Amino acid sequence: MGLIERSIRKRGNQRLAAEVYTRTTLSFDEIVAVVEDYCNSHNMEVTDRHEEYAANANNRFTKWHAGAYDPGRHHYYVSPHSEVRQILIGFGQQPEPILAGRADVHRGVWAARITYRPDSSTVGISLLKWIIGGDDGVIKNRAYYESLLANLHGQISSDGEMTTGEEAFGGGLPEPLSPQPPAGSSAIATVRAGPGDPGSSDVPADSRSIPPEDVTAPQQVQVGTWLTDVAAGVPFLGRDDVLAMVGMRAVLSVDTGYNSSTYITRGSYTTDQFYDLATHSVLNCRWFVPGPTYVSCGAPSPGASFAADWLLKYSVSETGEATIEVPFSRKVNGAIRSGELLIRMREAVKATLTYGIHLRLEDGPPQFDGLVVTMPAGGRGYPDNDKSPFDHDFIGGVNDRHRTPVQIPAGVRAAVLASMAGRQLRSAHGSGDVISRTDLAGARQSDAGSLTYRQAGEHDQFVIDIPAVLEPSERERSFRVAVRLLAGIALDLKKSHTEVSESIFAQLGQLQADVRQGWVTAAGARQKDRPAGFWMSNWGKDTPAPMVPVAAGRWYPIGVRVSTKRETNYLRRAIAAADWTNTYKRLRPQLDPNGRPTGRMAFYTRRCGMLYNANDKLTASLRFTSSADITEQATPKVTNEQTLFWEVTARGKSFVSTVSSDGGQLLVTGWSHADGVLGYGQDLLVMLQAFAYVISAADPEARVQTLYLAT
């Protein structure tokens, strides 16, 4: 929550941050009108006040000095979300930054959330994020929020009292109501569920004062009646699927803030050692069907594993009673590591199980306009930007060597064209010396290059053409797709035309050797001396990158549904879609047997790989994780022990027979977040969109729909 970690113990801030409840007889739309009228009318007062300050801000040289009193910098911004019966109010320069994660939080001042509670007669108002001003530990522009609180209560209250905590409901839990579909939505179905409000619980600020046995003791909660309606609204999902999505929704509602974790789990270490080896905590959720849903908090190690501070799981019986347990936790000085996040996470899961989730099904491939934002890591007021688990990623490796043609004997043209026809890419016949051209864009809208198959004298050639004007990350995607396509063709020719297959693999091997040599050269040189195009920082304080902020009131794609009569290998389509995800290069310290750095460095990547189970059997899941495999044309093999940034699972048939046509899904079965952004979220969205693309390329008659989850 903003910068609250620096002053959470300040009692005045705690009282102000607590959610307050107001009884009302107004409808949600009437409340929206009241809020908008209040904010619009008071914006003039805000402007007048700042203009008055600015008018008196002349310095001794009689020069105009607006400074921080620029009237354009502070206003109320109202963003109603009828589908979840919530209103977001931002106060600051712009409406979105303070509502969209941590990166540009300095551009706002505070943000509040008004929730129309599911009992139809209670409104909850709470601070969502805020900025601490200077060194005084006081929330900036606090008076504006207090005024908003008092005035809105006076205009919507039916009994004249404001309360805090669950006493607002008379000790009982309210029944959920149906949400309204978003205005202008093309939704095929909007699932009925109450507005999940995980942020309403009064969570202790510091778990060190709570005995660990109280934090880890099993708890029960009854699932709300919303579950029946969700199951009816999405019959292609099972009951366990919907219950697992509760965890996905709850994870996104808990901000990790400044909380840090370390991958060193053995032995003792000093404060300085901990600081050097710590990273901002990562929250992740992963589910199994059938089975429980798991939520964990911890730090990804420089290798492949994830060092968890704690593990929370929940499972639901047939009678609807959910059991929430903490099967594992680490303790430091007698307190559970990241215990505050554990408490908040448990309460978020309980509240979401009670109030429900919102799902929306729409025709067409995933749309994520507005979800992806180009922004830097951290922001003014946030120290330790280098502690982000998503910092220190590098991209690069696409040099002019890839333009060297791959020579193919003309006699195997028919076999090559047959192989290309079997790929999940759209190819077109060329003219002149161009035999065929395959577009590398996939679901991307811009020109992203092509793999051209052309006649050149007595031989044919493959030429990779990637526009130099593309952003580095998009060049990487096109390069990977082209290399994977060539590798697939070489595999198809392995038996019938062995020499040709070996020739293609040799060319790909040379490309990979060039890339690796570039990594080695760049890693050993100062940044200013590195070859152009190699080891460019992907995301950092000074390097903005496309990221997916975690924010309230948004719809995130969580699955792609396919309806078709054709036999389709959905896992194969998912593997093809993974070709459009990026491979991020990293350097990691080599560790000793106790898990401590040795001073030597090694290469590794963060990328999408195929998940194998404990019996070394391929599953139907792909996981974005850390991997020692740096080969572009390979899809690495990963295991459950490796860090989960996100995971998708392919399915081949519908769960119930009531669906009129056979089909399959690609569902998000795991994701993570830290520093206010979804872990490698842009690659997850690209993966889902590319899956819809390869499905349509192979089967133009297939019906593609996207399932969205509301936060």
Report the 3 state secondary structure along 171-211.
Answer: CCCCCCCCCCCCCCCCEEEECCCCCCCHHHCCCCCCHHHCC
Most confident of 88-102, 104-118, 148-162, 486-500: 486-500
Rounded mean pLDDT, 567-592: 86
Rounded mean pLDDT, 512-525: 68
pLDDT of res. 195 = 27
CA atoms of 454 and 695, how far apart (whole Å)? 27
Rounded mean pLDDT, 365-384: 73
CA atoms of 345 and 252, how far apart (whole Å)? 10
pLDDT of res. 678 = 94
Q: Which has the closest alpha carbon to 618: 645, 650, 643, 646? A: 650
Whether the predicted pLDDT of 649 surpasses 70: yes
User: What is the overall mean pLDDT for the chain?
Assistant: 76
Whether the predicted pLDDT of 402 surpasses 70: yes
Most confident of 525-534, 656-665, 669-678: 669-678
Residues paired with residue 193 on neighbouring β-strands, in sequence order? none
pLDDT-derived band at 285, boundaries 50, 70, 90: very high
pLDDT-derived band at 100, boundaries 50, 70, 90: very low
Cis peptide bond N-terminal to 95, omega within 30: no
Residues 6+ apart with CB under 8 A from 596: 264, 267
pLDDT-derived band at 665, boundaries 50, 70, 90: very high
Question: Which residue has better confidence, 115 or 422?
Answer: 115
Whether the predicted pLDDT of 55 surpasses 60: no
Whether the predicted pLDDT of 126 surpasses 90: no
CA atoms of 585 and 482, how far apart (whole Å)? 19
Cβ atoms < 10 Å from Cβ of 414: 8
pLDDT of res. 181 = 36
CA atoms of 59 and 506, how far apart (whole Å)? 71
Question: Which residue has better confidence, 488 or 110?
Answer: 488
Question: Which residue has better confidence, 417 or 43?
Answer: 417
Least confident of 146-160, 194-208, 376-390, 492-506: 194-208
Least confident of 166-170, 307-311, 495-499: 166-170
pLDDT of res. 658 = 35
* Strand locations in 614-662 (E): 618-627, 637-639, 646-651
CA atoms of 464 and 472, how far apart (whole Å)? 16
Least confident of 14-18, 92-96, 484-488, 696-700: 92-96
Whether the predicted pLDDT of 107 surpasses 70: no
What share of the chain has pLDDT > 90, as a percent?
A: 22
Rounded mean pLDDT, 409-424: 83
pLDDT of res. 525 = 60
* Strand locations in 1-137 (E): 20-23, 75-81, 86-92, 108-116, 122-130, 132-133
pLDDT of res. 108 = 59
Question: Which residue has better confidence, 617 or 278?
Answer: 617
Whether the predicted pLDDT of 188 surpasses 50: no
pLDDT of res. 635 = 83
Whether the predicted pLDDT of 693 surpasses 80: yes
Helix, strand, coil percent values for the chain (each to nearest 5): 30, 30, 40
pLDDT-derived band at 208, boundaries 50, 70, 90: very low
Whether the predicted pLDDT of 165 surpasses 70: no
pLDDT tens-place string over residues 256-269:
877 888 887 766 66
CA atoms of 639 and 625, how far apart (whole Å)? 10
Question: Which residue has better confidence, 117 or 573?
Answer: 573
Question: Which residue has better confidence, 562 or 511?
Answer: 562
CA atoms of 133 and 535, how far apart (whole Å)? 38
pLDDT of res. 36 = 87
R_g of the chain, CA atoms, integer Å = 27
User: What pTM was estimated for this model as a whole?
Assistant: 0.76
Whether the predicted pLDDT of 686 surpasses 90: yes
Q: Which amino acid is at 198?
A: P
pLDDT of res. 607 = 92
Q: Which has the closest alpha carbon to 466: 455, 456, 481, 453? A: 481
Cβ atoms < 10 Å from Cβ of 456: 13
pLDDT of res. 521 = 66
Rounded mean pLDDT, 565-582: 90
Whether the predicted pLDDT of 670 surpasses 90: yes
Q: CA 63 from chain center: how many Å?
A: 47
pLDDT of res. 682 = 95
* Contact (CB, 8 A) for 354 and 244: no
Instruction: Quickly tell me which residue has 């009064």 as its tokens.
Output: 202
pLDDT of res. 27 = 87
Rounded mean pLDDT, 537-558: 86
CA atoms of 588 and 601, how far apart (whole Å)? 5
pLDDT-derived band at 385, boundaries 50, 70, 90: low
pLDDT-derived band at 250, boundaries 50, 70, 90: very high
Whether the predicted pLDDT of 221 surpasses 80: yes
Rounded mean pLDDT, 351-363: 90
Whether the predicted pLDDT of 82 surpasses 60: yes
Whether the predicted pLDDT of 634 surpasses 70: yes
Whether the predicted pLDDT of 582 surpasses 70: yes
Question: Which residue has better confidence, 241 or 138?
Answer: 241
pLDDT of res. 189 = 34
pLDDT of res. 705 = 94
Q: Which has the closest alpha carbon to 704: 361, 360, 425, 421? A: 361
